[in-house]
Amino acid sequence: MQYYFTPYILPLVLGVIVSGGVALYGWRHRSTRGAMSFAVLMAGVTFWIVAYTFELLGLNTATKEFWTAIKYFGVVIIAPAWLAFALEYTGRDEMLTRRNITLWLILPLTTLVLALTNGMHRLMWSPAQWVTTGPFLTQDTTNGAWFWVNVAYAYVLILIGSVLIVRAFVRQPRLYHGQITGMLVAVAAPWVFNFLTTFRIIDIHLDLTPFVFLFTGLALAWSLFRYRLLDLMPVARAAVIKAMRDAMIVLDAQGRVVDINPAAERLLGVQAAQAMGQAAADIFRSFPELVAHYQDGMDARNELGLGEGATREDYDLRLAPLHNRQNGVIGRVITLHDITERKRMERDLSAARSQLDDLLHRFVPASVADQMIANPQGARLGGERRQVTILFADLRGFTRWSENRSPEHVIETVNRLMGVGIEAILAEGGTLDKIMGDALMGIFNTPLSQPDHPRRAVRAALTILAAQVVEADLRFSIGIHIGAVVAGNVGTERVMNYTVLGDAVNQAKRLQEMAPPGQILLSQETYAYIEDKLQARIFGTHTLRGRGEPTKIFVISDVAQAQTFINP
């Protein structure tokens, strides 16, 4: 009984403690990707160590055979769990389907059943003979046929998982190298010794695998707590590329396709298996625009449109060279980012803005609208003092004329006559300040500066009189005055109107009220600016309301003689 406490048992006890602790850690983090398969893996290791410990401590063949069979609960699960963890770690989770897992477990579960019933068929091991190995009584058995089937299967799964991890070591950044090194040590150590004892390369009747599992637990604990295994899991390149919404095509130096992701498959209408190794010109033959961009370029970025009309698709094309470690060009990568929706929104936004601009120009003077569009922050209450020319025009006789006409005819006539006045003011670069029923007001030299603003106002007035359609007694009377005003936005922060305020506005209005139908009255200040170009006769000397001294007023009544002024 003294060998129960031999130092040979100590590695097994420590192995149980370390492996069990690591398994528990994985279980507590089971919501993390890869943690569940990791916990199952370490649980299998822990169970194998415990069962083998009891097998060694057994005092008779029956006890030892019992624990030999029981340990297969741990033995058979380790290889599938390792493969599952390797797949998750390297981003190949899509392979872990219920169907695949079921298929992978058929052989291990068969092995477990055969181990538990070995006494009936001896497919796993032959009847044991007692052999003294150091302080232990061990069994000398001959392995059965199914034992070797299970060994081969387990080795294949472990090899596949190890290859995946090694490839991850090569491809992943240095950040993950510590994790991967710990995992490779953890899997290599026990399976090397398992190989040595299973194939009797070391002539010993002990299974050294459970003893070396201590190093497995320590290596994985080192990866867990030093390099945060399960907390920082790398995302495999393949998973990233497959999940990309952008189409990606990789070409070698000869222009042949060497890689293509699912998004590119959908765009080009080809399968990756068909595209690999094909000349890019053949793969892209349905997209001549794409060929034109990639044919000779190495580094480019451009917007590319494929298709026409409603089926048009827009892409942001990027072409970049691929270099080897010696900085030599070994190929190119093409990425196509779908910007169809963005371009459609831009077109819709441009159309909406155009409509809004047009609508704004219908309700706001063109010069004001242009300033608002160019500088929206400038549309605020307040104004500035400016010298402007003001034109008032009113349809004389409108009230009496409209009494016996239908509303439809009245509005049609007003719109036609007012249209003449509005277009004349706008044609001279003036600002339509307001429409007041059958009258309108135009201003010049604001908000845009116009050094010749008096002449512009007079030309607009002459155009109105020359172009208007006479109906019955409807004729415009026009007054023009130049003076200082305050020009700016009045109203509230929500509703405002661009206008001018000051005595000059009142004087222009009074001149219009004095003007006979079909005539233009100019203030003395206005006529001073145009007398070198256009002769007008004195209408009279009047004292306008609000003024203490009389002032000369000039009249233009012969529109025909003013044509040279309108068209200099």
Q: Find the helix or strand (DSSP H, E) in which 372 lies.
A: helix 366-374
Q: Give the Cα separation of 15 and 218 in Å (integer).
A: 9
Q: Report the pLDDT value the prediction gives residue 495, as an integer from 0 to 100.
A: 64
Q: Would the pLDDT of 211 be above 70?
A: yes
Q: In the beta sheet, which residues pair with residue 143?
A: 125
Pick 373 or 54 by higher pLDDT: 54
Q: Would the pLDDT of 382 be above 60?
A: no
- What is the Cα 406 distance to its own chain's centre? 60
Q: Report the pLDDT value the prediction gives residue 393, as an integer from 0 to 100.
A: 93
Rounded to 10 deg, the angle between the 98-116 and 72-89 helix axes is 160
13-34 pLDDT, tens digit each: 999 999 999 999 989 988 887 8
Q: Report the pLDDT value the prediction gives residue 5, as an integer from 0 to 100.
A: 46
Q: Residue 286 contacts by C-beta under 8 Å, 6 or more apart in sequence?
A: 268, 269
Q: What is the mean pLDDT of residues 524-529?
A: 90
Q: Report the pLDDT value the prediction gives residue 148, as an integer from 0 to 100.
A: 95
Asked if residue 550 has a cis previous peptide bond (ω within 30° of 0), the answer is: no
Instruction: Please provide the average confidence, as pLDDT, over all residues in the chain.
Output: 82
Q: Give the Cα separation of 343 and 99 in Å (integer).
A: 44
Q: Give the Cα separation of 150 and 152 in Å (integer).
A: 5
The Cβ of residue 283 has, within 10 Å, a number of other Cβ atoms equal to: 23
Q: Which amino acid is at 515?
A: A
Q: Domains in the chain, please, with CATH? A: 2-237 (1.20.1070.10), 244-342 (3.30.450.20), 374-566 (3.30.70.1230)
**Where do runs of H (alpha helix) occur along 117-243?**
118-121, 145-171, 177-198, 209-226, 237-243
Q: How confident is the model at residue 376 (pLDDT cuts 50, 70, 90)?
A: low
Residues 52/57/61/67 CA torsion (nearest 10 deg): -30
Q: Tell me whether strands 313-323 and 329-338 are parallel, antiparallel or unpaired.
A: antiparallel
The alpha carbon dihedral of 491, 497, 501, 505 has a sign of negative
Q: Report the pLDDT value the prediction gives residue 294, as an integer from 0 to 100.
A: 62
Q: How confident is the model at residue 4 (pLDDT cuts 50, 70, 90)?
A: very low
| CA neighbor of 505 nearest in space, from 546, 465, 473 | 546
Q: What is the mean pLDDT of residues 314-337?
A: 81
Burial category of 7 from C-beta neighbours within 10 Å (exposed 0-12, middle 13-18, buried 19 and up): exposed
For 75-123, the three-class secondary structure string (H helix, E strand, C coil) is: HHHHHHHHHHHHHHHCCCHHHCCHHHHHHHHHHHHHHHHHHHCHHHHCC
Burial category of 81 from C-beta neighbours within 10 Å (exposed 0-12, middle 13-18, buried 19 and up): buried
Q: Give the Cα separation of 511 and 516 in Å (integer).
A: 10
Q: Give the Cα separation of 78 and 153 in Å (integer).
A: 12
Q: Which amino acid is at 233?
A: M
Q: What percent of the chain has pLDDT over 90?
A: 25
Q: Give the Cα separation of 48 and 205 in Å (integer).
A: 17
- Give the HSE-up count for residue 462: Cα atoms under 13 Å, Cβ half-sphere: 23
DSSP string, 303-349: EEEES-GGG-EEEEEEEEEEE-TTS-EEEEEEEEEE-HHHHHHHHHH
Q: Report the pLDDT value the prediction gives residue 371, as an integer from 0 to 100.
A: 61
Q: Is 455:461 a contact under the CB 8 Å cutoff?
A: no
Q: How confident is the model at residue 420 (pLDDT cuts 50, 70, 90)?
A: confident
Q: Report the pLDDT value the prediction gives residue 295, as an integer from 0 to 100.
A: 63
Q: What is the mean pLDDT of residues 333-347?
A: 84
The alpha carbon dihedral of 48, 49, 53, 56 has a sign of positive
The alpha carbon dihedral of 106, 112, 117, 122 has a sign of positive
Query: In 399-493, at which residue ranges do the beta strands (DSSP E only) sit?
Result: 431-436, 439-444, 475-491
Q: Which amino acid is at 254?
A: Q
**For the chain, how are helix, strand and coil distributed in percent, rounded to 5?**
55, 20, 25
